[in-house]
Copies of this chain bind each other. A is one copy, B any other.
Amino acid sequence: MTELEKGPQGRRRGRGARERILSASQQLFRDQGINRTGMDQLCTVAQVSKRTAYQHFAGKDELVAEYLRRFDPDVMPGVFDRTDLTPRERLLAAFEIPASTPLCPYIAAAVELHDPEHPASQYARDYKTAIAARLTETAREAGATDPEQLGEQLALLIDGASARTRVLNSESFPTAAAIAAVLIDNAIPASSSRRPGDDRATTSNSARPKR
């Protein structure tokens, strides 16, 4: 569980305090929100002295930023790399993330911090942009006439489902998925609605097109 934090070399840099702090952050920020979670409580949960926490992170803001950065790799991307699915199926699969994401932490952070200049808000924007780009890319593979529009639309659906789930306390992703299905079918010319890939993008470059 607690892996050595820094070096792939033999030299160990610590005994997992940083990991415990970030792990506790994820739990507490998700369950209680950022503002309602004090550093004291966080350190208690992380079983770390306050002093140690402030030796790892210059301040709470930095911790929050790092906490958000942690999500980057493992929320969405898994969906986009599934070569067993057609591009169209991949787009739809993006809406099957029900229980794992209570509320998109990026939205929560942006609202809670309430400061567009905050580094965490920057991360949030970057992430949202990246997701939209991925969707656009996949939409292009799927043969959408206006991939950018479709990508942006699908991104909006995800955020809408996220926000609505939070406010209403009831799952909204199925609704979003239904909309997505309609949009996708409408955006892809009838000729290529079923056949994946067809002439262009013969999956040779679609595996990892960029980044």
Which residues of A are in contact with B by a Cβ distance under 8 Å?
A: 32-33, 35-36, 103, 106-108, 110-112, 114, 116, 124-125, 128-129, 149, 152-153, 155-164, 166-169, 172, 175-176, 178-179, 182-183, 186
For this chain, the copies found in one complex come to 2
Main secondary structure of the interface of A (DSSP, over half): helix
Contact A110 B175 (CB under 8 A): no
**Chain B residues near A164 (CB-CB < 8 A):** 128, 155-156, 159-160
**Chain B residues near A149 (CB-CB < 8 A):** 175, 178
The distance from the CB of A106 to the nearest CB of chain B, in whole angstroms, is 6
A113's nearest neighbour on chain B, judged by CB, is B33
User: Provided the pairs A114-B32, A149-B178 are in contact, do residues A159 and B155 lie with their beta carbons within 8 angstroms?
Assistant: no
Contact A175 B156 (CB under 8 A): yes
From the candidates B128, B169, B172, name the one contacting A167 in the complex (CB within 8 A): B128
